[in-house]
Structure 1
Amino acid sequence: MTRFVRRISAALVIGITTISLVACGSQSSTGKSNDNNSVQTVQIAGVTGKKPYTYQDGSNYTGYDFELLKKIDAKLPQYQFKYTALAQDALLTGLQSGKYQLATCSFYGTAERFKTFDYSKKPTSLSDARLIVRNDEKGINSLKDLAQSGKKSAPIPTDDARYTLIKNYNAENPKNAIQFEGATERSATVADTLKSVGSGKYDAAIYPYTSFESIKNEIDYKLKVTDSIGLFPTVFLYHKGDDTKQLRQSVDKVLEELRSDGTLSELSKQWYGEDPFTLPGANKVTDVIYW
């Protein structure tokens, strides 16, 4: 069992629910019986328009996270999951107030975020961090290369797991540190940041492989990704409180089963275009533990 903590090793094995569960009084659309108030409704929110993670296709809530939750729901007859999608700020506000019990959108875990929300102790997936550089860049293929080149990485929000990745690398390599800036706001979109790399303002950016794949056709620049520079777990976020404990434990148990039987791998290949569970170091990222 591995602990994922703030400090990430040189190997770089590197990602919001109140549960006021409401009993249903009739047969659910998933065929779950609600007799004797035995089935509890869980209000779940995803971020709108965040393909391939969470988005709405007509009346269908889909993407990796929603499809994963549907599979989890099928294994938990005591719960009935209800879905919605909205802007991230509204989602987090609703989660904190208890309007939603669980929130999802391939969220990274950070110690700061976990002061406000509880989280799954088993990964919902593994985020495959890559360096994104211009096609004509020949010398940057790793964090070590980026540091030694003296070139500059695009800013990263200080509450982001990618920031922790670079910060820890620099702490372990003080004589060969990466030049980068910490951003206090998430004003720049993925497309904005990648355009700044393509234009030469920055020499590299760090994003999950899936983020690059989902946006690359919208950017009029020739960019490429390096091999993986590290893996870190993504999580479900929950309203903070003891009343979510049983739900969190039940979902974690199913997450462990779905990883073991290959379901997470299949969903990853379908939605992400790769299976991060087969990458080097993936077997070491088993638990999500912060303190």
Structure 2
Amino acid sequence: MKKLILGTAALALTAGMAFAQDNTIRMGTEGAYPPYNFINDAGEVDGFEREVGDELCKRAELTCEWVKNDWDSIIPNLVSGNYDTIMAGMSITDEREEVIDFTQNYYPPTASAYVGAAEGLDVTSAIVAAQTATIQAGYIAESGATLVEFATPEETVAAVRNGEADAVFADLDYLVPLVEESGGELVFVGDAVPLGGGIGMGLRESDTELRDKFDAAIASMKEDGTLNTLLKKWFGEDTQVYGEDGAAASGS
């Protein structure tokens, strides 16, 4: 559930529905942020968003093709027409909505967290790693801590392991398995911080028809419980899910 900060609002190019007459939709993702999205051993896009996206396309009667794109150019390449949607752990923010549109969220709002190599760290005065062009990076830049930015999430964690940073600040759900698998090498430090308004699918502002199709599909997945099933599959039984009204509810 990364939160991109837009570097520029340029590239507002073409208008109208961009997908082909055969209803083929190109789904842009990063492929580097498990369990949201990643590249599996077969070289294919996998993860929570792959499953959700494929089901959304099925319900909207569209054909999906997945396109991998680096995070720092993922919005400009949507606007310029390299693909038709973004499903890449992207939180809905007011800043982003100045450039692109979003569907309703398909992942409820959650928290970001700090992970370091030792307990007792004062994160307000520490050197903290965050991925470039995320609102985690923006938050750290304003927190009083020293921000060091990296192009990929893997590099932010590596910076803590090699002593280049005191902590990494990222989505809680991304960090939990890394801490659990570290054998005590990595620990949570400081308090979790709520950021963003949940994860939504990003689309060009001109593609209102396509947005409405996906919005309806997301609503139907909330209503029949399919989305909650996938949330629990990829994030565990205690993850936050949606209630009967489609609003976020606590996990079981």
**What is the TM-score with the length of structure 1 in the denominator?**
0.62
Which residue of 2 is the match for residue 64 of structure 1?
48
1:65, CA displacement in angstroms?
A: 0.8
- After superposition, the CA RMSD in angstroms is 3.8
Aligned position for 2:60 = 76
2 CA distance for matches of 1:59 and 1:203?
33
Q: Give yes or no for the alignment of 1:160 onto 2:134.
A: yes
Indicate if the aligned counterparts of 1:156 and 1:181 stay in contact, CA closer than 8 A.
no
- 1:196 to 1:268, Cα distance in 2 relative to 1, 3 A: same
Judging changes above 3 Å, is the alpha-carbon distance between structure 1 residues 126 and 263 closer, same or farther for their aligned structure 2 residues?
farther
Amino acid at match of 1:272: F
Give the conservation status (yes or no) of the 8 Å contact 2:132–2:150.
no
TM-score, normalisation: structure 2: 0.70
SS at match of 1:19: coil
Determine helix, strand or coil for the equivalent of 1:22.
Answer: coil
Aligned length: 230
5+ residue gaps, structure 1, are 1-16, 25-39, 171-177, 287-291
Residues 245 and 278 of structure 1, relative CA distance in 2, 3 Å threshold: closer
Q: What are the Cα deviations for residues 50-100 of structure 1, in whole angstroms up to 9, with x where unaligned?
A: 4322234437532111110111122223x3323232434564443121231
Unaligned segments of structure 2, at least 5 residues: 1-14
Alpha carbons 2:38, 2:45 under 8 Å: kept: yes
Distance 1:204 1:94, change over 3 A: closer
Question: Map of 1:19-168 to 2, 5 A cutoff?
Answer: 19-24=17-22, 40-57=23-40, 58=42, 60-77=44-61, 79-88=62-71, 91-134=74-117, 136-137=118-119, 139=120, 146-147=123-124, 151-156=125-130, 159-163=133-137
Residue deviations 1:174-209, cap 9 Å, x none?
xxxx532356xx535434333443455544332113
Against the structure 1 CA distance between its residues 62 and 200, is the aligned structure 2 distance closer, same or farther, given a 3 Å change threshold?
A: closer
Per the alignment, residue 172 of structure 2 pairs with 209
* Match in the other structure for 1:181: 146
For residues 199-253 of structure 1, the C-alpha deviation after alignment (integer angstroms, 9 at most, x for no partner) is 5554433211332245558879711236754263122111232xx1122122123
Identical positions, percent: 19
The 1:260–1:182 alpha-carbon spacing in structure 2 relative to 1, beyond 3 Å, is: farther
Could you tell me which residue of structure 2 aligns to residue 253 of structure 1?
A: 216
User: In the alignment, residue 103 of structure 1 is paired with which amino acid?
Assistant: I
2:194 matches 1:230: yes
SS of the residue aligned with 2:105?
A: coil
User: What amino acid maps onto 1:100 in structure 2?
Assistant: Y
Q: Match for 1:21: what amino acid?
A: F
Between structures 1 and 2, the one with greater strand share: 2
> Judging changes above 3 Å, is the alpha-carbon distance between structure 1 residues 93 and 120 closer, same or farther for their aligned structure 2 residues?
same
**Which whole-Å CA distance do the structure 2 matches of 1:284 and 1:163 have between them?**
28
Pick 1 or 2: higher relative contact order, CA cutoff 8 A, min separation 6.
1
DSSP 3-state at the match of 1:21 = coil
Q: Per the alignment, in what secondary structure is the counterpart of residue 82 of structure 2?
A: coil
Higher Rg: 1
More helix by share: 1
1:81–1:125 Cα change, 3 Å: farther
CA-to-aligned-CA distance 1:78-137 (integer Å, 9 cap, x gap): x33232324345644431212311122111334443333222233445444222133x41
The one-letter amino acid of 1:162's match is Q
